[in-house]
Structure 1
Amino acid sequence: MPPGGMYAGAPENRARPAIDPLFRSAAVEYGNRAVGVVLSGYLDDGTAGLETIRSCGGVCVVQDPDDAEYPDMPRNAMQHVLVDFCLPGAELGALLSELAVREPGRRSAVQEHVAVEAAVAKRVLSDLETVESLGRQAPFNCPGCGGVLWQIGNSTELRFRCHTGHAYTAATLLAKQTEKMEETIWVALRMFEEHRNLLLRMNAEGSANSSGAERLEKLHLHIQRIRTMLRSTGAK
């Protein structure tokens, strides 16, 4: 495995180790000798990295979505990347053995934006100027660190990255935003309930003023609305 390609740097698509930086690093290091395999899994991890392997002349392989327990990842890869092989899991081992001994063709130069993003992911480069060279600023904040996100160009799939190194596809960014929203709503519920409980205790001890009952009624309404929101998001 290429040094630093998998474990260093910030999470991508909410994970570290992560598939995309591994694929990207392998593509830059090995060019047309790299082989990327996307197996069963949720959302769209691996698609961006597989596209990078394709751009460097490597071989792109996916598990047949009909054979996968969770078909999202291989299906999304096939929608955005021209894959070389799509096989059931039981046939992948023989294919990889064949590819390992196949003589590769002439290696082409790595595109600059691919090399730059690989370096950013490994924390070799991580500054505003470098990230700006990869795309344009987006009207979203990074849910991982709160920094500004840039929409990354040269891709068939919508992707975002901050200068710290966090990176997201549109699907994982949406999932992370939803997670953060739920966390915020839970905090709001706790604070409203604590405020209500304090007023109830003050009432019980006779230290609340005349507006206490009205404030309790408003707090009760806010708490019910927040609980309705949490139920609608499916939060546990």
Structure 2
Amino acid sequence: MTVRPRDIVVVGASAGGVEALRAMAAQLPDDLPAAVLVALHMPAGGTSALPAILDRAGPLPAQVARHGEPLEHGRVYVAPPDHHLLVSDGAVALSHGPTENGHRPAINALFRSAAVARGAAVTGVLLSGMLDDGVAGLQALAGQGARVVVQDPRDALYPAMPEHALQVLSPDHVVAAAGIGEVLAKVTLELVEADSGPAPEALRWENEIASARRFGEGMSAVGRPSEFACPDCHGVLADIDNGLRYRCRVGHAWTAEALVAAQGDAVEHALWTGMRALEEKASLCRRLAALARERGSDQIAERYDVQARETLEAADVLRRQVVGRG
């Protein structure tokens, strides 16, 4: 039996993740026999200071990942803004594939690519964050025999991501961020079977979408159309995981919880837009009422005054709805 080392570590974090990543990096051994790839949710524009932060925090050199560069042991590769960070044939791959839960880079995309490329030779680490980002990717890793490490929710600034992972998985380790370095020092010394067979077709299909090698074509084979629209492109979402995850025809992916949050944002935007339109209509009605009075048309002016009052009452109803959502 051919074996290989467990020498790929993939790390995902979101809100509160910088603090957790810094604590983890500070305790990594300087001779870690693995490459570490990090995806942190961040805005699309600008640059990221995370590589410099991690480079100063611990003994391992950290850098912005570059497409096509070979993975080296004892080095940290950080996803650049607006690009998925992926593992491909022992090298870094960057992609501008569809967003997942509205994010690029996406944690699920990194975890899934590592599961496809290296299977059991991977350790997945999920840190602080909101909603359930990264959990589907962590499940993919566990299904391929990879080790799973989750930050202790009590140690996370935003415990939702670790908590969701604990609800659906039995991680190999649940530790504070500062203790993850010690865990990785041991786990990366393990040897695993080199060839455990190809990853499941659905997993490879989703990885190809994140890699921008294909879009959502063929989704009918892995899911059925739902009644929901994609918040990014407004296309029909297909249910690809029994109501837990969805993808649209062009590839945008959403978990059910992230979809609820995105729909909530859309509702709030609609409420603010409606309130603005009502305020503008009331202002215009008052102006028309004043002009009518100047011309001596009191009956017409009163009609505009009534419209202004009714419109302001409707705007006040919307205002209470918006305030109540806060």
Q: TM-score, normalised by structure 1?
A: 0.91
Q: What SS class does the counterpart of residue 149 from structure 1 fall into?
A: strand
Q: Which residue of 1 aligns with 2:306?
A: 214
CA distance in 2, matches of 1:6, 1:162: 22
Query: Are 1:224 and 2:316 an aligned pair?
Result: yes
CA distance in 2, matches of 1:22, 1:2: 7
Query: Are 1:119 and 2:204 an aligned pair?
Result: no
Q: Which residue of 1 aligns with 2:261?
A: 175
Q: Out of 43-52 and 60-69, give the one that drifted further.
A: 60-69
Q: Which residue of 1 aligns with 2:172?
A: 84
Q: Residue 6 of structure 1 contacts residue 22 of structure 1 at CA under 8 Å; is this kept in 2?
A: no
Q: Which residue of 2 aligns with 1:159?
A: 245
String of CA shifts for 1:10-55, please: whole Å, max 9, x gaps.
2111211110011001111111112110011111111000000011
Q: Out of 173-182 and 92-101, give the one that drifted further.
A: 92-101
Letter aligned with residue 104 of structure 1: V
Tell me: CA distance 1:127–1:42, structure 2 relative to 1, closer, same or farther (3 Å).
closer
- Of Structure 1 and Structure 2, the greater helix share is in 1
Q: Residue 216 of structure 2 contacts residue 247 of structure 2 at CA under 8 Å; is this kept in 1?
A: no
CA distance in 1, matches of 2:171, 2:193: 18
CA distance in 2, matches of 1:107, 1:70: 37
Letter aligned with residue 148 of structure 1: V
Letter aligned with residue 281 of structure 2: H
Q: Residue 5 of structure 1 contacts residue 26 of structure 1 at CA under 8 Å; is this kept in 2?
A: no
Letter aligned with residue 139 of structure 1: E
Letter aligned with residue 259 of structure 2: L
User: 1:8 deviation in Å?
Assistant: 2.2
Aligned-residue CA RMSD (Å): 1.9
Q: Which residue of 1 aligns with 2:274?
A: 188
CA distance in 2, matches of 1:5, 1:42: 26
Correspondence list, 1:139-150, <5 A: 139-150=227-238
Q: Residue 47 of structure 1 contacts residue 77 of structure 1 at CA under 8 Å; is this kept in 2?
A: yes
Q: What SS class does the counterpart of residue 230 from structure 1 fall into?
A: helix
CA distance in 2, matches of 1:107, 1:190: 60
Q: Residue 64 of structure 1 contacts residue 86 of structure 1 at CA under 8 Å; is this kept in 2?
A: yes
Q: What SS class does the counterpart of residue 140 from structure 1 fall into?
A: strand
Q: What SS class does the counterpart of residue 275 from structure 2 fall into?
A: helix
Q: Residue 136 of structure 1 contacts residue 150 of structure 1 at CA under 8 Å; is this kept in 2?
A: yes
Letter aligned with residue 159 of structure 1: R
Q: Out of 99-108 and 143-152, give the one that drifted further.
A: 99-108
- Of Structure 1 and Structure 2, the greater strand share is in 2
Query: Are 1:67 and 2:159 an aligned pair?
Result: no
Query: Are 1:41 and 2:109 an aligned pair?
Result: no
Q: Residue 54 of structure 1 contacts residue 60 of structure 1 at CA under 8 Å; is this kept in 2?
A: yes
Q: Residue 5 of structure 1 contacts residue 21 of structure 1 at CA under 8 Å; is this kept in 2?
A: no
CA distance in 2, matches of 1:10, 1:28: 18
Q: What SS class does the counterpart of residue 101 from structure 1 fall into?
A: coil
Q: Residue 247 of structure 2 contacts residue 254 of structure 2 at CA under 8 Å; is this kept in 1?
A: yes
Q: Which runs of 5+ in 2 are unaligned?
A: 1-85
Letter aligned with residue 200 of structure 1: R
Letter aligned with residue 42 of structure 1: M
CA distance in 2, matches of 1:232, 1:46: 31
Q: Residue 119 of structure 1 contacts residue 125 of structure 1 at CA under 8 Å; is this kept in 2?
A: yes
Tell me: CA distance 1:62–1:104, structure 2 relative to 1, closer, same or farther (3 Å).
same
Query: Are 1:2 and 2:87 an aligned pair?
Result: yes
String of CA shifts for 1:117-165, please: whole Å, max 9, x gaps.
111222212144x122221111100111100001113x7x811111212
Q: Residue 235 of structure 2 contacts residue 248 of structure 2 at CA under 8 Å; is this kept in 1?
A: yes
Letter aligned with residue 225 of structure 1: V
Q: What SS class does the counterpart of residue 2 from structure 1 fall into?
A: strand
CA distance in 1, matches of 2:275, 2:175: 48
Q: Residue 95 of structure 2 contacts residue 210 of structure 2 at CA under 8 Å; is this kept in 1?
A: no
Q: Which residue of 2 aligns with 1:132?
A: 220
CA distance in 1, matches of 2:251, 2:153: 31
Q: TM-score, normalised by structure 2?
A: 0.67
User: 1:7 deviation in Å?
Assistant: 4.1
